[in-house]
Amino acid sequence: MQTHEIRRRFLDHFVEAGHTEVPSASLILDDPNLLFVNAGMVQFVPYFLGQQTPPFDTATSVQKCVRTLDIENVGVTTRHNTFFQMAGNFSFGDYFKEGAITKAWSLLTGSQDDGGYGFDPERIWVTVYLDDDEALGIWRDVVGVPEERIQRRGMADNYWSMGIPGPCGPCSEIYYDRGPEYGADGGPEADEDRYLEIWNLVFMQNERGEGIGKDDFEILGPLPKKNIDTGMGVERVAFLLQGVDNVYETDLVRPVIAKAEELSGRVYGASDTDDVRFRVIADHARTAAMLIADGVNPGNDGRGYVLRRLLRRIVRSARLLGAEGATMLEFMTVVRDTMAQSYPELASDFSRISTVAVGEETTFLTTLASGSKLFEGAAETVRASGGSTIGGEQAFTLHDTYGFPIDLTLEMASEAGLTVDEEGFRSLMAGQRRRAKEDAQSRKHAHADLSVYKEFVDRGPTEFTGFEELVSEATVLAILDGGVRVPAATAGSSVEVILDRSPLYAESGGQIADLGTITAPGLTAKVDDVQKIAKTVWVHKVTIGEGQLTEGDTVVASVDPQWRKGATQGHSGTHMVHAALREVLGPNAVQAGSLNRPGYLRFDFSWQGQLAESQKQEIEAVANEAIAENYAVNTFETDLDKAKKMGAMALFGENYGDRVRVVEIGGPFSMELCGGTHVATSAQIGQVTLLGEQSVGSGVRRVEAYVGLDAYRHLAKERALLAGLSSSLKVPAEEIPARVESLVDRLRVAEKALDAERAKAVLSAAGTFADKAERVGDVRLVAEAAPSGVSAADLRTLVGDIRGRMGADAAVVVLLGDADGKVPFVAATNRAAQDLGVSAGDLVREFAPLVGGRGGGKADMAQGAGSDPTGIPQALGVVRDRVAEIAG
């Protein structure tokens, strides 16, 4: 049975049982504890917590999930995956244990002809919580599972919670016996490779308190309602029904491995080491494609860092398998072809997905090239010192600072006849992971208590009147002070106010909230911010200037008209810039985020590489030409599918309802899904002036611009600046660039001449230093403070020249400078001194700490820098003592 069919049968089974089918949420949700959605129940958390009333009593979904805590184990075992699909059915105060158990059993064991999965009931085992006699009795007496195939387990295995205060409860897990060839007899307690968990039924009936771990917390008491949350692993069911050994051999994953075989020339199953690499590619390619589809871009922290790491592990695994050149597009294509039936966005948005993935591959291939040079330097240093092992710290620096994988370090070391201190490297990596885990745990906290808003979420959405008017009469539904509902608030108070209707725009879609007032006879209150709760309830954050605001009051809510005018210009200007970007750069330049406020906008978009100046000028020109056309701005509501067929652009990673609002400017020029406020015609935007363009992450660029009067003011300043330069340089404005270029060229020539004179002066001092060399045993030693102001580069030249003037005698030269509080230093020895046992590198390592610095190098020359000039005399003393000790 194909995986797509397994998904479909699950949803059909529960829809026929009266459940509402709910689409998978984005992998990115606004949850402070989650980088990515990692379980099927995550989008339903507000219902389980009682913060919102669910619009249905029962639901079913197949949720896409990503878990990356065990990323290092992916490929090493066949049990770990970063991306997986969790099929679930949910009850919010409707059926409980018996309903969950019997519905799961009927789907698992029902015949395939009747829409079931057709599992042999004699091979199914179940576990229940230690004291859950009710669940055990249902399995035994209602379903008919023999008691010898029901096992009781403790909290660590059969008691579920989110890991933070909130709903929790015992669970019952369903296992399938794969047969004696996969492990020992004795049920799940004996061997969880043979007895494979395929479904977990969670009976949410209690509330947990503070604590850590899976079993170190207090159970506070029962929940108001008993809920059901189940999760069936689609991939696990797939490999059982497809008769293969693990998920990597199923219909949606094995094709990626086949492509890797084709590109590398190696065969899956021939080598354990290669098999790990094949599995890493197959797993990570799926995960990366799904993350990019939901709006994640490679970066250096958070979600972006996870994606970057996944993509780079694909690249390095392909390289270690022997694949030459770029491979990412091939893997992304296979993922699209296998997964698009369930996730059509992989096909419709493939151009952007592949562009982001290939861009990261290109960047990393460059990193590998530079990392190889760094490795060669480290290897040369090891050989020069007579060693054969690259230190764990060096390997860790290559990995952590330069992104050079340890796998390649080990491979290249072996080719160079060297080894790597793997134990030291692993220890440093373990320390890094421990610190990261501790940091993540310190930032993990309970879900914000939004229950105070539940009444108003259940009541229905705030009526937003701001599309039609800037002043609305409204009723005060509630006043909240510090999260607590209060009957009234007086002058000087800062409170939250919920109205039944409001013209003030609540921050969303990149547009910041309106400013305005709430007034009534004897009352004035300034609205500082407006935020949404559950995307439906407007919460006005206000400061009361005079009078008293009381729940139930009739008030007038007003938008600052100048603020709204600027806000509409900024938001409509954002749409124009987006359309201009796509016209100039092509369809791959799609939105990756935006922010607009009165007079200003910034727009992030997917793109590889810096924009040329000509491209920026063309984008600005296209946007302003469209503005000058005075296009009508039309808004209308329609079905989501119809809007997409019309070509309306949507923000990636955003969840939209069945009905959406479309903003159309100039017919086909710009059409986007948007809930923001806009001008009536494009000419009202005024003007768009691009301020600049920069990178904000791998594959993501950002443009910033002023609009309207702010654009005019910016250009006026630029014009004044240009006039000032024209006057100072005594040339017309159009000749300023040529004049500046000429001045820069003359400055470069002067600087080179100055550098030459300075070097000449420095070298002239070499003879003086050589003549002053002191005799220490058999060594001629120069250990002095360098001339004031000598740069590190000149210092190296000077030391080398002094050493050359010392003839065949054993010679050691050490100079320490003092340049603007920095202490550059260089040490050099000739062959005769080295034969006596004097090493420049060793000397530097001994005295560098005395000047607050570090340094290193080879036996003939070493250098470094410090920050404490007061230590120079002591450092020179150490040099003399050390040379005297070696030279006798």
Query: What confidence tens digit (pLDDT) does each residue in 488-511 have?
Result: 999 999 999 999 999 999 998 889
Report if residue 260 sits inside a domain.
no
For the ranges 191-200, 800-809, 839-848, the lowest mean pLDDT is seen at 800-809
| Count: domains in the chain | 6
Q: Are residues 227 and 271 in the same domain?
A: no
How many Cα atoms sit within 13 Å of 456 on the Cβ side? 25
**Cα–Cα distance, 486 to 493 (Å, whole number):** 12
Q: Are 859 and 827 in contact, with CB atoms under 8 Å apart?
A: no
Task: State the virtual CA torsion across 196, 441, 700, 294 in degrees, nearest 10.
Answer: 40
For the ranges 150-154, 288-292, 483-487, the lowest mean pLDDT is seen at 483-487
Q: Is 678 annotated as a binding residue?
A: yes
pLDDT band at 652 (very low <50, low <70, confident <90, very high): low
pLDDT over 50 (residue 34): yes
pLDDT over 70 (residue 403): no
Query: What is the CATH number for 515?
Result: 2.40.30.130
User: Per DSSP, what are the bridge partners of residue 555?
Assistant: 474
Cβ neighbour number for residue 788 with a 10 Å cutoff: 8
**Cα–Cα distance, 318 to 279 (Å, whole number):** 11
Report if residue 26 sits inside a domain.
yes
Report if residue 876 sits inside a domain.
yes
Domain boundary among 496, 526, 559: 559
Q: Are residues 33 and 90 in the same domain?
A: yes
Give Cα separations from 101 to 171, 174, 176, 229 (angstroms). 11, 10, 15, 11
SS3 203: strand
Q: Are residues 237 and 275 in the same domain?
A: no
Q: Are residues 429 and 507 in the same domain?
A: no
User: Per DSSP, what are the bridge partners of residue 230?
Assistant: 201
Query: What is the CATH number for 579?
Result: 3.30.980.10
Domain boundary among 314, 344, 374: 374
Token pair of 662 as six digits: 């479309």
SS3 205: strand
Q: Are 4 and 90 in contact, with CB atoms under 8 Å apart?
A: no
SS3 418: coil
Instruction: Tell me the longest C-alpha to C-alpha distance in the chain.
Output: 103
Which H, E and C letters describe 475-535, residue by residue? EEEEEEECCEEECEEECCCEEEEEECEECCCCCECCECCCCEEEEECCEEEEEEEEEEECC
The pLDDT value given to residue 446: 44
Q: Are residues 682 and 591 in the same domain?
A: yes
Report if residue 258 sits inside a domain.
no
Report if residue 361 sits inside a domain.
yes
Query: What is the CATH number for 81?
Result: 3.30.930.10
Q: Are residues 307 and 166 in the same domain?
A: no
Domain that holds residue 320: 265-374
pLDDT band at 118 (very low <50, low <70, confident <90, very high): very high
CB crowding 761-779: b at 16 or more within 10 Å, else e: ebeebbeebbeebeebeeb
507: CB partners within 8 A, 6+ apart: 513, 529, 530, 531, 532
Q: Are 789 and 760 in contact, with CB atoms under 8 Å apart?
A: no
Q: State whether the Cα torsion 182-187-193-195 is positive or negative.
A: positive
Report if residue 84 sits inside a domain.
yes
- The secondary structure element, H or E, covering residue 26 is none
Q: Are residues 272 and 362 in the same domain?
A: yes
The pLDDT value given to residue 606: 81
350 closest CA partner among 293, 419, 433, 402: 293
The pLDDT value given to residue 195: 95
pLDDT over 50 (residue 813): yes
Q: Is 445 annotated as a binding residue?
A: no
pLDDT over 90 (residue 801): no
pLDDT over 60 (residue 444): no
Q: Is 19 annotated as a binding residue?
A: no
Report if residue 727 sits inside a domain.
no
Q: Are residues 778 and 864 in the same domain?
A: yes
pTM for the model stands at 0.67
Average pLDDT over all residues of the chain: 89
Q: Is 399 annotated as a binding residue?
A: no
Domain boundary among 693, 718, 743: 718
pLDDT over 70 (residue 529): yes
Q: What digits encode the pLDDT tens for the residues 337-381?
A: 999 999 999 998 898 899 889 988 988 888 777 777 778 888 888
Q: What digits encode the pLDDT tens for the residues 298-332?
A: 877 788 888 988 998 899 899 889 998 899 999 99
Q: What radius of gyration do the chain's Cα atoms show?
A: 35
Give the long-range contacts of residues 466-469, CB within 8 A, separation 24 or more.
466/502, 466/503, 466/504, 466/505, 466/514, 466/559, 466/564, 466/677, 467/635, 467/677, 469/503
Give Cα separations from 153 to 170, 569, 690 (angstroms). 10, 62, 63
Per the listing, tokens 């003393």 go with 877
Q: Are residues 63 and 111 in the same domain?
A: yes
The pLDDT value given to residue 396: 84
pLDDT over 80 (residue 818): yes
DSSP assignments along 246-267, one per residue? SGGGSTTTHHHHHHHHHHH---
pLDDT over 70 (residue 761): no
Q: Are residues 121 and 194 in the same domain?
A: yes
pLDDT over 90 (residue 580): yes
Q: Are residues 336 and 403 in the same domain?
A: no
Query: What is the CATH number for 789?
Result: 3.10.310.40
Q: Are residues 582 and 681 in the same domain?
A: yes
The pLDDT value given to residue 445: 41
Q: Are 499 and 540 in contact, with CB atoms under 8 Å apart?
A: yes
Report if residue 330 sits inside a domain.
yes
Residues 36-47 have a mean pLDDT of 87
SS3 17: coil
Residues 565-583 have a mean pLDDT of 94
Percent of the chain with pLDDT over 90: 57
